[in-house]
Amino acid sequence: MAEVNYVMEALKFMVLGMGVVFLFLFILVIVVELQAKLIAKYFPENTPIKTPATPAVDTEDESRRVAAIIAAVTEFRKNKS
């Protein structure tokens, strides 16, 4: 029986291993790119609408509340006198 050349075997492992790793990652890249396109098309993000709106509402709310307090206090003082 011929002596097995283990270095050759190891080189074969290398070809197989690197081939599978690259194949796997290559398919992964394609799928992920496709997925990004599909998601961008069918589920566009709509985040920018919300953010600027909140602080404006807040300040308005605050001034209204202050106005209400002032009104209440003046009414109370009027009643007292």
Partner 1 sequence: MRLKQLLISLLFILVSLTTMIQADEEHKGANEAQTTAHKEYHPKSLSELGVSFLETTGIKAIVDTNDGEMSSDPAGESKEHKLGAFESSFGRIIMILIVFLLFYLAIAKGFEPLLLIPIAFGGLLANIPLAHMAGPEGMLGVIYNMGIANEFFPLLIFMGVGAMTDFAPLLANPKTALLGGAAQFGIFGSLVGAVVLGFDIQDASAISIIGGADGPTSIFIANRLAPDMLGAIAVAAYSYMALVPVIQPPIMRALTTKEERQIKMGVQRRVHRLEKLLFPIVVLMLSIMILPESTPLIGAFAFGNFAKESGVVDRLSDTMQNSLINTVTIFLGLGVGSKLAADKFLVLESLGIMIIGLLAFSAGTAMGVLMAKLMNKFSKEPINPLIGAAGVSAVPMSARVVSKVGAEEKPGNVLLMHAMGPNVAGVIGSAVAAGVLLSIFK
* Site of interaction with partner 1 (CB under 8 A): 6-7, 9-11, 13-14, 16-18, 20-29, 31-33, 35-36, 39-40, 43, 45
Nearest distance from C-beta of residue 2 to partner 1, angstroms: 16
Nearer to partner 1, 43 or 76 (CB): 43
Nearest distance from C-beta of residue 46 to partner 1, angstroms: 11
Six-digit token string for 25: 């990652």
Six-digit token string for 54: 């909140």
> E strand or H helix at 44, and its extent?
none
Nearer to partner 1, 26 or 68 (CB): 26
Give the integer Cα–Cα distance in Å for 78 and 35. Answer: 68
